[in-house]
Chain A
């Protein structure tokens, strides 16, 4: 075990995978010599050479498109989109090609690629450095969608994603790169180096895809969250005094529905929290599933706490970001019903 930030854990996962399998190649914008704008690939080019880790032209469709070709050849590309906000030029390649390749060719060709992208707000990133586009990927059959919330999961989930035989969208909440963040932007942040979840196992211990983790046990209400919102929910529990059970979904597709159902059946209440905009966001799918599977156990209408249906603003960061205040209000409200 070693104490690591999420950045270091992600870099470590690359390192472990590249050492174990020479088919793993890593590339993206500024990923090679410089080691990435967030340092997630630092040192990999020096260690594995330029043919295993290299800089790419600024062309997201090209990065994903070439990776699909490499995967068809037999390599395992782990590629980076510098910000999730910039994945859209590659959307055709992801949706029409990577996601469909196995199905349309009856497994004649497959696409074991991992597309990493820093995501989420809370960093004064404004419109194009803060978005959470997970719903654009969970809606696409053939993709897996993963979002870790701590260094231990980041390493284990990335290793599992690289080992996975199908394309994985790996969303990294950049607000959590250096330490957990509970939405209290006026307080100093704590580094992962002083946090239990910053204690990362050595070697290639994977965290299985499709399995949620029970972040906090509680009996009053189930909170479904992922990424930064896990810590926001925890802070909201402390402020509101509501004994909520917090489930960190970790993988959005395929979803661990069993974990959700058993929790909601126990608590009878459910609050869904995400940073992404509300309408047609992933929360709508979660709400539908809980309604379909837990209707007779529900004692109150479910509540979604999400980003507003606006582009992500700059000056109004903390009025937009669903912080512990808004989540706490939802917890109280769902208990009153």
Chain B
């Protein structure tokens, strides 16, 4: 070792706040609502590079919708959106409890992230296809996919459309533009690009949307998706949901030295934009903008939805082991339901009383659906899918060795 060289050391990023610490988001820069202009959809990605470092926001502190991105939805749309988010939150709470009661093996909630999938869904058209992760059930709720079918899947009962083959919440609905969820992270991001390429190859007008979390952007398939989307100018909207956490790992471990996840798009020449993920109006406006770009053949868009995973990663996770219990409450972008509620009250379209009433109605509805699902069966109790079913659908036609194994198993 020579005198002018010191020993090297490994840089391992750490979150600002661990259990016992006081959360501090003072370094987190939040642009004023309405301050980010809305560019034309045919903008050259090079001319909007600053948008990957800012945050598109519509709702201000007073609950008013301000700036270029406001006005993409009517007040009826917004009331429907509020109901979707409230339904998703209630659904989550009931299913979390159902898991605690042993009625199913597993659940993952969306607490704090309801605006992202619920608002995005409203920018897509029938026939478009989402390639979701396990935390975008709002895409189904906002498209009026039957809650009963979702619960039957969670309970793996006899009415489960996936016949008990899949882990709870790994839904699939071609009809509702919701691609089959896989446990393997990042895989669907590149598949969404392929689906969009197929639409372009076929001269269609349908578009695809890919979904990935902040942690999974580190997967190789994220990179593959970006290369293919860029090369073939695929009609796809690529969504990164940055909820700050990948199980116990803070987003800085995946983000590395880059300023934002959206900035990753710059290296691929992809239009990249960051949005307040807890602002229903902003998410919808940005989604609509990106969908229009895709539909007009103007190329892919990368959206970073900035939000916070207020709940545990899953029913198998205890976040108090790695982050402060008060961090969610300190999150500066607030709660998506509270923010939209406030906006609707400002508009004179809503009130605390109506909100309470809606909460009660939704709870009644979810409980009623839950009773119907549980009357069919829960995991290991009631009517279950046939064991024969595990041999079906491996191939379109059952090959001889599977027929032999099914007979051997006695089904």
Q: Check if A and B associate.
A: yes
User: Which A positions have Cβ atoms within 8 angstroms of B?
Assistant: 25, 51-52, 56-57, 59, 61-62, 65-70, 72-75, 77, 89, 92-93, 96-97, 100-110, 141-142, 144, 165-166, 210, 253-255, 257
A contact residues around B182 at 8 Å (CB): 96-97, 100, 104
User: Which B positions have Cβ atoms within 8 angstroms of A?
Assistant: 129, 131, 161-163, 165-166, 170, 172-174, 179-180, 182-184, 187, 190-202, 208, 220-221, 223-225, 227-228, 231, 393-396, 399-401
Question: Which residue on B lies nearest to A90, using beta carbons?
Answer: B224
Q: How far is the CA of A74 from the CA of B393 in the complex (A)?
A: 18
- Is the pair B395, A106 in contact by a Cβ cutoff of 8 Å? no
A contact residues around B208 at 8 Å (CB): 69
CB distance from B132 to the nearest CB of A (A): 13
Beyond A65-B190, A96-B187, A97-B187, list 15 extra A-B contacts (CB 8 Å): A25-B198, A62-B224, A69-B192, A70-B195, A73-B199, A74-B202, A75-B202, A89-B220, A93-B190, A103-B394, A107-B396, A108-B180, A109-B180, A144-B395, A254-B395
Give the interface centre of B131, B395, B399, B401 by most chain A CB atoms within 10 Å. B395
- Is the pair B162, A65 in contact by a Cβ cutoff of 8 Å? no
Give the interface centre of A56, A70, A109, A255 by most chain B CB atoms within 10 Å. A70
Given the interface contacts A72-B129, A72-B179, A105-B172, does A65 sit within 8 Å of B202 by beta carbon? no
**Residue from A73, A93, A166, A254 within 8 A of B198 (CB atoms):** A73
A contact residues around B200 at 8 Å (CB): 51
Question: Which residue on B lies nearest to A109, using beta carbons?
Answer: B180
CB distance from B222 to the nearest CB of A (A): 10
Q: How far is the CA of A144 from the CA of B163 in the complex (A)?
A: 23
A contact residues around B172 at 8 Å (CB): 104-106, 108-109
- Is the pair B187, A59 in contact by a Cβ cutoff of 8 Å? no
**Residue from A67, A92, A210, A253 within 8 A of B187 (CB atoms):** A92
- Is the pair B174, A104 in contact by a Cβ cutoff of 8 Å? no
- Is the pair A69, B220 in contact by a Cβ cutoff of 8 Å? no
Question: Which residue on B lies nearest to A23, using beta carbons?
Answer: B202
Q: How far is the CA of A64 from the CA of B265 in the complex (A)?
A: 22
- Is the pair A105, B191 in contact by a Cβ cutoff of 8 Å? no
- Is the pair A102, B201 in contact by a Cβ cutoff of 8 Å? no
- Is the pair B197, A165 in contact by a Cβ cutoff of 8 Å? no
- Is the pair A106, B161 in contact by a Cβ cutoff of 8 Å? yes
- Is the pair A65, B399 in contact by a Cβ cutoff of 8 Å? no
Q: How far is the CA of A62 from the CA of B224 in the complex (A)?
A: 5
Q: How far is the CA of A257 from the CA of B195 in the complex (A)?
A: 37
Q: How far is the CA of A142 from the CA of B390 in the complex (A)?
A: 12
- Is the pair B184, A52 in contact by a Cβ cutoff of 8 Å? no
Q: How far is the CA of A141 from the CA of B225 in the complex (A)?
A: 26
CB distance from B375 to the nearest CB of A (A): 22
- Is the pair A102, B228 in contact by a Cβ cutoff of 8 Å? no
- Is the pair B162, A57 in contact by a Cβ cutoff of 8 Å? no
B contact residues around A253 at 8 Å (CB): 399
CB distance from B241 to the nearest CB of A (A): 20
A contact residues around B227 at 8 Å (CB): 57, 59, 62
CB distance from B400 to the nearest CB of A (A): 6
A contact residues around B174 at 8 Å (CB): 105, 108-109
CB distance from A30 to the nearest CB of B (A): 15
Give the interface centre of A56, A69, A165 by most chain B CB atoms within 10 Å. A69
The 3 closest A-B pairs by CB, nearest first: A69-B194, A66-B194, A65-B190
- Is the pair A105, B190 in contact by a Cβ cutoff of 8 Å? no
Given the interface contacts A25-B201, A96-B184, does A69 sit within 8 Å of B401 by beta carbon? no
Question: Which residue on A lies nearest to B195, using beta carbons?
Answer: A69
- Is the pair A97, B202 in contact by a Cβ cutoff of 8 Å? no
Q: How far is the CA of A66 from the CA of B227 in the complex (A)?
A: 11
Question: Which residue on B lies nearest to A142, using beta carbons?
Answer: B394
